[in-house]
Amino acid sequence: MHLHSRLVRLTFIAVLGTIAFGSSETAWFTNASAHAAGKITLQGTGATFPAPLYERWFREYNKRHPEVQINYQAVGSGAGIQQFTRGFVDFGASDAAMSDEEIARVSQGVILLPVTAGSIALAYNLPGVKALKLSREAYAGIFLGKITGWNDAKIVAANPGVKLPPTRITVVARSDASGTTYVLTNHLSAISPEWKSGPGIGKAVNWPVGIRAKGNPGVTALIKRTPGAIGYVEYSHAKRTRLDIAQLENKSGKYQQIEVASEKAALESVQLPPDLRAWIPDPSSPQAYPIVTYTWLLCHKTYAKPEVAKALKQVISYGLSDGQRLSSELGYIPLPASTIAAVSKAAEQISP
């Protein structure tokens, strides 16, 4: 009898665990969806880049539709693709759109939906310096390990009148397979032949210098507690934690800060193809902030349970309509109407 009571208690705790909401760094290795007593639970996992926005969307949607629970685990784009491919979750999320080879491994088919976009900030911890400008040569040199002090001549040249200390630069990079890393290294490869022929492009690369942290939140935290640090994080994380963010030189030689106008200028420089996979490694507009990307939801074309397909489509529809109004507030880019139309059409392919 005692053993039976213990088993009942453990089962109750397990059930509570499956309905807990929010992101964590712990992967879900359970059945991808639950359907009981008229309620639907959708499981998703992946990128930390869009996590603050997705979590807000899913909370707001659940308020309107209490019968639909959406659990999203922010474990990084690489892990998100892996768990989605292996069928552990109903949807994945990645800042690096799946490749043809990755898509071919998914028997249920794949639909890639760029439901939001954002910028990657180069955030720094340099007490007393609140308005830093970095040239393309300077920030590429920092990540290559060629520029090691904050008073280097290449940094000083772009910041006349700013007292830059001789503090040693500490580069903070991602330790996990990351779409944010993919976007940054894609950009660095576009502006630096040395980077392209060296570390190159990838969700994980061999960084020449620096220290590592897991996820956008981990990088953010490490920058905040390391004087002299610089790292790359999704803008909303830098904004929420009040990190100082560098203005970056774009392809036209203009220094741009992250704001809606400079982000939209970057998005407008690329036309989405039919498969909705588009990169913006180095936007040409003089008004554009230089490191901007779409981020994708990864969905199956077919689902074994009709109620799961229906619920997922409705959640996506919310994100593309009312959900877009939350984008600017949280540090993301509201999608252009043409992009929303294209993504909405693609989402209609999701079926039982």
pLDDT tens digits along 85-138: 999 999 999 999 999 999 999 999 999 999 999 999 999 999 999 999 999 999
At 128, list the tokens.
């007393």
Fold held by 119-292: D-Maltodextrin-Binding Protein; domain 2 (3.40.190)
* CATH 3.40.190.10 in the chain, residue ranges: 2-118+293-347, 119-292
The answer to whether 313 and 350 have CB atoms below 8 angstroms apart is: yes
CATH code for the part of the protein at 2-118+293-347: 3.40.190.10
**Tokens read off for 41:** 């639970």
How far apart are alpha carbons 256 and 288 in whole angstroms? Answer: 7
The pLDDT, as a whole number, for residue 352 is 85
| Amino acid in position 162 | V
Q: What is the pLDDT of residue 17?
A: 35
At 40-57, the pLDDT tens digits run: 999 999 999 999 999 999
Cα distances from 143 to residues 139, 158, 189, in angstroms, run 6, 17, 12
pTM assigned to the model: 0.86
